[in-house]
């Protein structure tokens, strides 16, 4: 049995994306095709939905955003302190803006 060599072939039959693990495929289908919310930030003011559990973990670890008050007026990203905002580069700002737009488009398409 050479199961491992044949791995990485979990194909979504709706959009042909390929995933390495069956669980990744399951999360992908729930997130992209079924509109299920499996990995939602439990914070009431946030409620962001993520495709994979690790994204939610990252979000909760690095974002800590739920008490954050400092906001970038360009991209609306929140920061824990003025110091973090001052390290927020133009590049990061543009990237964040773009990510937000892409997320918005995703949900608009559904
Ligand atoms: Zn798919
Ligand atoms: Zn959150
Ligand atoms: Zn910004």
Domain check: are 48 and 85 in the same one?
A: no
Using CB atoms within 10 A of its CB, is residue 45 exposed (0-12), middle (13-18) or buried (19+)?
exposed
pLDDT for the residue numbered 34? 95
Check whether residue 58 and residue 19 sit in a common domain.
yes
The alpha helices in 1-110, defined as continuous H runs, are: 22-28, 53-58, 82-86, 90-109
Q: Which ligand is nearest to the CA of 77?
A: 3
pLDDT digits (tens, 9 = 90+) for 68-97: 778 899 988 888 778 888 999 999 999 999
60 C-alpha to center of ligand 1: Å? 26
pLDDT means over runs of 10, the chain (110 residues): 58 93 94 93 81 87 70 86 88 91 64
Distance of CA 89 from the midpoint of ligand 3 (Å): 8
Instruction: Judge if 12 and 60 occupy the same domain.
Output: yes
Based on the domain organization, do 28 and 62 belong to the same domain? yes
61 and 75 inside one domain: no
User: Considering the domain boundaries, does residue 2 fall inside one?
Assistant: no
Sign of CA dihedral 104, 40, 20, 63: positive
Residues 27 and 53 in one domain: yes
According to the model, what pLDDT value does residue 13 have? Answer: 93
Residue 50: half-sphere exposure toward Cβ, Cα within 13 Å: 15
Q: pLDDT value at position 71?
A: 87
78 and 49 in one domain?
A: no
Looking at residue 67, the DSSP 8-state letter turns out to be G
């Amino acid at each position: 049995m050479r199961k491992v060599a044949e791995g990485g072939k979990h194909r979504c039959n709706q959009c042909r994306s390929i995933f390495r693990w069956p669980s990744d495929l399951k999360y992908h289908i729930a997130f992209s095709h079924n509109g299920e919310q499996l990995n939602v930030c439990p914070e009431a003011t946030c409620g962001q939905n993520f495709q994979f559990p690790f994204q939610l973990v990252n979000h909760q670890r690095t974002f800590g955003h739920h008490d954050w008050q400092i906001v970038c007026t360009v991209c609306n990203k929140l920061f824990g302190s003025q110091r973090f905002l001052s390290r927020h580069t133009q590049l990061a700002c543009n990237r964040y803006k773009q990510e937000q737009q892409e997320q918005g488009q995703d949900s608009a398409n559904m």
